[in-house]
Structure 1
Amino acid sequence: MDDWDFLTLGQHFGRPTRLLDWSNNALTALWFATADNYAKIEEQDAAYAVVWILMAEADDFSLNIAEVAPFKVKETKIFRPRIIKQRINNQSGVFSIHSSAELSEMRFMNEIDSFAQKLIKVKFPAKVVREIRTDLDTLGVNAFTIFPELEGLCNYLQWRYFE
């Protein structure tokens, strides 16, 4: 295990890191967008859930994690973590890592020059979130397939039979 692996694990278990989760799977991204907002949309009457699409180029992945420490990254890059937990594989997970300068300036990814034109924001109205969740489950995308452990199974069963 190295610093990249520890950051990856921390991110997947909810620890604040300099990593931002992405997925190569559009349905997984939609599940996360609606999962994070599922309760918020209904409770706070939010207008929509959001999926950000990153149209990455080869240069965006030009980070050799074997040679660069995570806290020495000079600019935002994307990297594929090692599959150290099954959930990373199930989620088709990739990360963007942000430099200390970008973090200290609190710049959102769509405010970073090299990424601003590569991002597409897709909004899903609150009134369709419940239907999206049901459709995703029909397609095999749910808490248990995203988090293939006991916690994911329990979350799925709670959603499926009690919500």
Structure 2
Amino acid sequence: MKEVELSTIEAYLTLIKQSKDEHSQQGYSIDFLFRGQTFDHPLLPKICRLKAKGDILQVEQTLLQEFKRTNPLLIEPHRPMDDWDYLTLGQHFTLPTRLLDWSNNALTALWFATGESLGASSYSVVWILMAQEEDFAANLETMHPFEVPQTKLVRPRIIKQRINNQSGVFSVASSQELLTKQYMNEIDSYTEKLIKVKIPSTCLKQIRTDLDTLGVNAFSIFPELEGLCTYLQWRYFE
């Protein structure tokens, strides 16, 4: 796994371009994905970062059942068609799931890296995944999310506008990987496809300002009142 430290948007975009050019020259068909984090956490879904009250797989089943049962009126407007849709919806409302958020948009991921914990750590991280076709799950219609044999990438159905705005993609872990809390960045089939970009905390404020100039801010990423209010607070308060 390659690891670099950068301090500007220009250097970040240059790294992506150089990496794409390098793989293109080698004849690879690459789909670049990005994940921004305010802390240097390994690639592990939220359900594995929490301590379950019981067997994690049984807790996961219960979470999904209760999410679907407790208040269908809140879910109905989104018209979920299957459990992939239910997990997608839950993921975007902070339900612990085996999904991990990625984006096709490099600047969206960079914005998340400059997020709420701005300056709380010595540096933030953007993971870059140089994904190939075999990394994506096929035939989702016939495969349940809990039956994925190993970590795969999934393009969710756009059941919420923010998924579209964030160019959302998920990685989904297998049940065995949940049980062993296997980091995606330590899985052989992904390790050499990852670049870990470290961004010093002293640069984050300027990068967020530069991102706003490029039209990337809380409201562009969360196109709802919550996002608008977050953006206005950032714009008019220290």
TM normalised by structure 2 equals 0.65
Distance of aligned partners of 1:118 and 1:36 in 2 relative to their CA distance in 1, 3 Å threshold: farther
What amino acid is the match of 1:24?
N
Give the aligned partner of residue 12 of structure 1.
92
Distance across 2 between alignment mates of 1:146 and 1:27: 10
Residue 146 of structure 1 and its aligned partner are, at CA, apart by 0.3
Distance across 1 between alignment mates of 2:139 and 2:218: 32
Q: Give the RMSD, CA atoms, in angstroms.
A: 1.0
Distance across 1 between alignment mates of 2:137 and 2:202: 40
Provide the identity percentage. 70
Give the aligned partner of residue 59 of structure 1.
134
Distance across 2 between alignment mates of 1:162 and 1:47: 23
Match 2:117 to one of 37, 41, 62: 37
Give 5+ residue unaligned stretches, structure 2.
1-79
Match 2:173 to one of 64, 85, 98: 98
What amino acid is the match of 2:112?
F
Give the aligned partner of residue 3 of structure 1.
83
CA contact (8 A) 1:81 1:95 kept: yes
Partner SS, residue 22 of structure 1: strand
| TM-superposition CA deviations, 1:131-151 (whole Å, max 9, x none) | 011011111111100000010
Distance across 1 between alignment mates of 2:149 and 2:208: 38
Residue 37 of structure 1 and its aligned partner are, at CA, apart by 3.4
Give 5+ residue unaligned stretches, structure 1.
none
Give the aligned partner of residue 214 of structure 2.
139
Residue 36 of structure 1 and its aligned partner are, at CA, apart by 4.6
Partner SS, residue 157 of structure 1: helix
| TM-superposition CA deviations, 1:81-124 (whole Å, max 9, x none) | 01111100000000000001111111111111111111110011
Partner SS, residue 89 of structure 1: helix
Distance across 2 between alignment mates of 1:100 and 1:134: 41
Distance of aligned partners of 1:54 and 1:17 in 2 relative to their CA distance in 1, 3 Å threshold: same
Distance across 2 between alignment mates of 1:80 and 1:55: 15
Give the aligned partner of residue 83 of structure 1.
158
Where does structure 1 differ by over 3 angstroms across 4 or more consecutive aligned residues? none
Match 1:50 to one of 109, 119, 125: 125
Shifted more, 28-37 versus 85-94: the winner is 28-37
Partner SS, residue 141 of structure 1: coil
Residue 14 of structure 1 and its aligned partner are, at CA, apart by 1.1
What amino acid is the match of 1:13?
F
Residue 4 of structure 1 and its aligned partner are, at CA, apart by 0.5
Give the aligned partner of residue 148 of structure 2.
73
What amino acid is the match of 2:107?
L
Partner SS, residue 139 of structure 2: coil
What amino acid is the match of 1:119?
L
What amino acid is the match of 1:132?
I
Distance across 2 between alignment mates of 1:75 and 1:84: 25
Distance across 2 between alignment mates of 1:36 and 1:120: 23
